[in-house]
Structure 1
Amino acid sequence: MTTGHGQHPSSVVTLKSAHDFDATIARIKTVLDGAGAVVFADVDQREAAELAGLDLRRTRLILFGNPKAGTPIMAANPHSALELPLRLVVWEDDTGHTHVDYRDVAQTLGPLYAIAPELLVPLQRIAGMLQSTVQ
């Protein structure tokens, strides 16, 4: 885990990637596809900033999910759809290192939306999957 790049909620996990920015994104997309997840959106936030005449470090927001895992959660509590699909952010720091941020759903969907732990099991696999992807 990495610290020192700004405050964030305890539910946000930051992983430092051993790969460059583009390779990290490619690896994540390959792993998500292999796990049966759908990438719903890939938002280049740096590009959006540039269109507004602003500077931003390389930053990409990826929205992803697997309807087989997410639908039962949304069926249990429709408000949980605010947290789904899942998202992660790939960003590059000032020294050129790439990081991946994602939200630990056990800390959000469980306690905040009273989702039964067994429904969260498929989503909790994401943490290990991302960790192995960025190593």
Structure 2
Amino acid sequence: MTEHGQHPPSVLTFRSAHDFDTTISRLKAVLQRAGAVVFADVDQREAAMLAGLTLRRTRLLMFGNPKAGTPVMAANPHAALELPLRLVVWEDDEGHAQVDYRDVTQTLGPLYAIAPDLLVPLQRVTGLLQAAVQ
């Protein structure tokens, strides 16, 4: 696979076994079943085209579950910068759908001093996303 750039260790990338559109649908369904709300679905390729630019297929989903995120934000209001959660689905040069997710549980504890027990519900997200792309 072609290398597409550097990213921090908290960013996890999953190659989907499905096409781009199916990957988006599966992610949304898995998140909904887990009690999450998809707050936004941003077509970044479309935005680029409106600006006269080109971009590979790229969609940003903002999602979360207030039952999981609210206690984190109550513990430290600055942590709201990390919530809602975000993932990006993008198409690589070979036409495979890739899913990038920044695991905020790796940063909320050390950078925002969020207690480990408050991070437990957020730790489920990685597994949910992996299941959606298999």
Q: Structure 1 length normalisation: TM-score? A: 0.97
Q: CA deviation at 1:3?
A: 7.7
Paired position in structure 2 for 1:126: 125
Q: CA deviation at 1:107?
A: 1.3
User: Given the alignment of the two structures, is residue 41 of structure 1 paired with residue 74 of structure 2, yes or no?
Assistant: no
Q: Deviations over 1:43-89 (max 9, x none)?
A: 00000000000000000000000000000000000000000000000
Q: Which moved more, 1:89-98 or 1:99-108?
A: 99-108
Q: Deviations over 1:19-40 (max 9, x none)?
A: 0000000000001110110000
Paired position in structure 1 for 2:106: 107
Q: CA deviation at 1:99?
A: 0.3
- Percent identity for Structure 1 against Structure 2: 79
What is the letter of the counterpart of residue 53 of structure 1? G
What is the letter of the counterpart of residue 125 of structure 1? R
Structure 1: runs of 5+ lacking an equivalent: none
Secondary structure of 1:128's counterpart equals: helix
Q: Which runs of 4+ in 1 moved over 2 A?
A: none
RMSD: 1.1
Q: CA deviation at 1:106?
A: 2.1
Alpha-carbon distance in structure 2 between the residues aligned to 1:68 and 1:82: 17
Paired position in structure 2 for 1:24: 23
Q: CA deviation at 1:108?
A: 1.1
Aligned length: 134
Secondary structure of 2:124's counterpart equals: helix
